[in-house]
Amino acid sequence: MTIPEIQRMKGEKKITALTCYDFQMAKILDKAGVDIVLVGDSLGMVVLGYENTLPVTMEEMLHHLKAVKRGIKNALLVGDMPFMSYKVDIKDSVYNAGRMTKEGGASAVKLEGGIEIIPTIKAMLDADIPVMGHIGLRPQAIHKMGGYKVQRDEGLIEEAKALEEAGIFSLVLECIPGSLAKKITESLKIPTIGIGSGIYCDGQILVLNDIIGLTERSPKFVRRYLNMKDEISNAIERFIEDVSKGDFPKKEESYE
């Protein structure tokens, strides 16, 4: 999967995208045929146990990006730029994005933000680093936004157009009313990828751990396809019971 292929899917076929943080899951996603795999800074909460995405570092992102890269052969791999790795000095921002592609193996990076990051986007593109945009609810701006709230500002339409003009190849719309997401999607030539933004986006992305039921709670817009947390708990309990009773290992599970 390439960036031009993703762009050609707009209006033709819905784009599928999921987050991923490790080698084994990356292999499963890739074999299943997902179009885009995002190593999201959501790993801060999902994998590392942080309260939000803000503490995630470049080194942590690169560690997980490298692992996911080893499991992918077909999907387009995108890496999230963590908080304070951009929106700083443009030279440093481009350097950090370069690390995501050169060291981490990402085909593109994702940035949260609007008009204020256009100079940074252009500098990354000048360095041949493709950029995916992200507007609406921006988890890295959670304190500024006052929490995880649906974003209803009609100004997002013009912001999306400005980002497209700057050269992003696709745009994530997070927690935007479906009617507004529809207007944004129809106003752009590049594909939109929604998360909690309704049915009119060109594609959808969710956190993998949410859809397979590993997380305790998940937002309204998440559909659970599996309850893996209970399945794993049951397997561990059975293992403990078998070992405790002397039922594991059996002779056929031992070496002579």
Active site residues: 174
The answer to whether 134 touches 163, Cβ cutoff 8 Å, is no
- The Cα–Cα gap between 251 and 102 comes to 49
Length, in residues, of the chain: 256
Helix H or strand E encompassing 195: strand 192-195
Structure tokens belonging to residue 161: 């157009």
Q: Which residues contact 103 (CB under 8 A, 6 or more apart)?
A: 62, 66
Amino acid letter, residue 147:
G
- The Cα–Cα gap between 108 and 12 comes to 22
